[in-house]
Amino acid sequence: MARSVAATSSATSAVPAAGSSPLPAAVAERLLAHVTVAGERDRIDVTAPFTEEVLGSVPSCTAEDVELAVGRARAAQGAWARTPMRDRTAVLRRYHDLVLERQDEVLDLIQLEAGKVRAHAFEEVADVAIVAAYYARTGPGHIAPRRREGALPGLTRTRELRHPKGVVGFIAPWNYPLSMAVTDVLPALLAGNGAVLKPAQTTPFTALWAVELLYEAGLPEGLLQVVTGRGSVLGTPMIDAVDFITFTGSTEVGRSVGEQAGRRLIGCSLELGGKNAMLVLDDADLDDAVRGAVAGCFASAGQLCISIERLFVADAIADGFTERFVAAVEDLVLSPALAYGGELGSLASRSQLETVTRHVDDARAKGATVLTGGGPREDVGPLFYAPTVLTDVTDDMELFGDETFGPVVTISRFRDVDDAIERANDSPYGLNASVWTGDVRRGRDVARRLQVGTVNVNEAYAAAWASVDAPMGGFKDSGLGRRHGREGIQKYTEVQTVAVERFLPVSRIPGLSQDRNARTLTAALKLMHAIPGLRRA
């Protein structure tokens, strides 16, 4: 059985006792000043998963508030787009420094709102700092004007320009309340856009802290607006008002967001669900693979879009791997402490606990074997669930194909790598995968055959995620578009081609008849094909 915090002395700072709010009223009031409201609104309580006590409340914003927020962001956007790029990058550089300097504040907020252990909360801090530094350094180059080949060498000068979309809307999830609230916003702002952010209704204070720090870093007043409340109320008016929409969440909701954006003919970026697989090949180092599997399956209690829910292990090493993996899982420290030391946190909500419980109970009832875990851990906290490992899973079980999004993983054996790849690909999702092998070339060959947006060889998810110069996103039902890299900032721009014709027109040379004009252009086209470098002249 996985250990609770009571079984270890390493985690010493527990959450406040029931009945007291760990979020001071003055802090909450300061953060709530960044919410855009047109008048008095009903309130939505925000609770702490560790205790299910109320942390505070936020306005239940309306379509009127969305309209006001978009209007304010649009009013500020024009001047920001004309601001020199060096001044825009300076904001991101200062933000990078502030996030690292003030991390203790937000680590508490992340833990309180999302129920994570502190080490997993720190991953969000590191991610935000990495992304801010990356785009401050490379963003200007990704969207700088570029010379393109002209129609006729020496006669046509063609350039590609990138303009900001205008106002970008962001609908953020609850599972990574800092990282997913702001890392997509940063490149959009750097590209010259205004922004409206709707954080998850269960984790708004972390997002408001991130926004407050951006203003401290020098962001112009009004450029980034926040509306709080229910996505079912605010999503449609936001999509109806902005010039581009970014959504991270479930595939079901993502389809609706894409449909609404399509009707308006605006672009969208969607990172959606996953049922991610890890393949442990017969030449893998068992100790390394076990450590990687524990990290990949149980980061943020499995509530990570790129976490591992399916383990495929080569038959030759399956017994050894399974024995070591189960032992490592049983040794995990469950903790609600606001301090380093814990290894597995709480589920984020009562509804998430119900989903995880339903999936495991359904699998058990239909014949799955529970190797460890398999139930709630109310002795640690009201929403804790024991890290769970299952075998003998069949396709009639709910968790076989559906995303569980909790600390639950299944183990299956394979004899043939081709079969393992086929089974890993047998999913409507295609977000992330992991391959473990002693032969890196073999790992790359397997990776290329997996139908997913990112593959980590001898790592679970962090290697690809932290390689922010490379795109991150999903195949199939796991989404549209990419974050990170040049795609992560270029998607927030409109591309414009400016072609300047000099001396002679492309369409017809003055003074020539139609047939002679055609012969002349034919000769020019043959020459350009024969001498490729001539086109760039």
Q: Give CA–CA dist 228/24, Å, rounded.
A: 19
Q: Is 252 a catalytic residue?
A: no
Nearest to 359 by CA among 348, 371, 347, 375: 375
Q: Give CA–CA dist 4/384, Å, rounded.
A: 10
* N-terminal to C-terminal alpha carbon distance within the chain: 71
Reported as type and span, the H/E element at residue 336 is: none
| Count of CB atoms situated within 10 Å of the CB of 90 | 15
Q: Is 305 a catalytic residue?
A: yes
**Active-site choice (61, 113, 305, 403):** 305
402: amino acid identity, one letter = D
Q: Give CA–CA dist 417/399, Å, rounded.
A: 23
Residue 220, burial from CB neighbour count under 10 angstroms (0-12, 13-18, 19+): middle
3-state secondary structure of 456: strand
Q: Give CA–CA dist 212/200, Å, rounded.
A: 17
Under a CB-based contact definition with an 8 Å cutoff, are residues 134 and 70 in contact? no
Q: Give CA–CA dist 206/381, Å, rounded.
A: 21
3-state secondary structure of 250: coil
**Active-site choice (113, 124, 271, 309):** 271
Under a CB-based contact definition with an 8 Å cutoff, are residues 289 and 255 in contact? no
- Report residue 344 CA to chain centroid gap: 21
Tokens at 444, concatenated: 């790359």
When computed from its CA atoms, the radius of gyration of the chain, rounded to whole angstroms, is 26
Nearest to 146 by CA among 529, 490, 507: 490
Q: Give CA–CA dist 79/94, Å, rounded.
A: 20
Tokens at 488, concatenated: 């992560």
Helix/strand/coil (H, E, C) string of 142-194?
Answer: HCCCEEECCCCCCCEEEEEEEEECCEEEEECCCCCCCHHHHCCHHHHHHCCCE
Nearest to 216 by CA among 227, 226, 224, 228: 224
Q: Give CA–CA dist 92/83, Å, rounded.
A: 14
Which residues have a Cβ under 8 Å from the Cβ of 219 and sit 6 or more positions away? 91, 189
Provide the annotated active-site residues. Answer: 271, 305
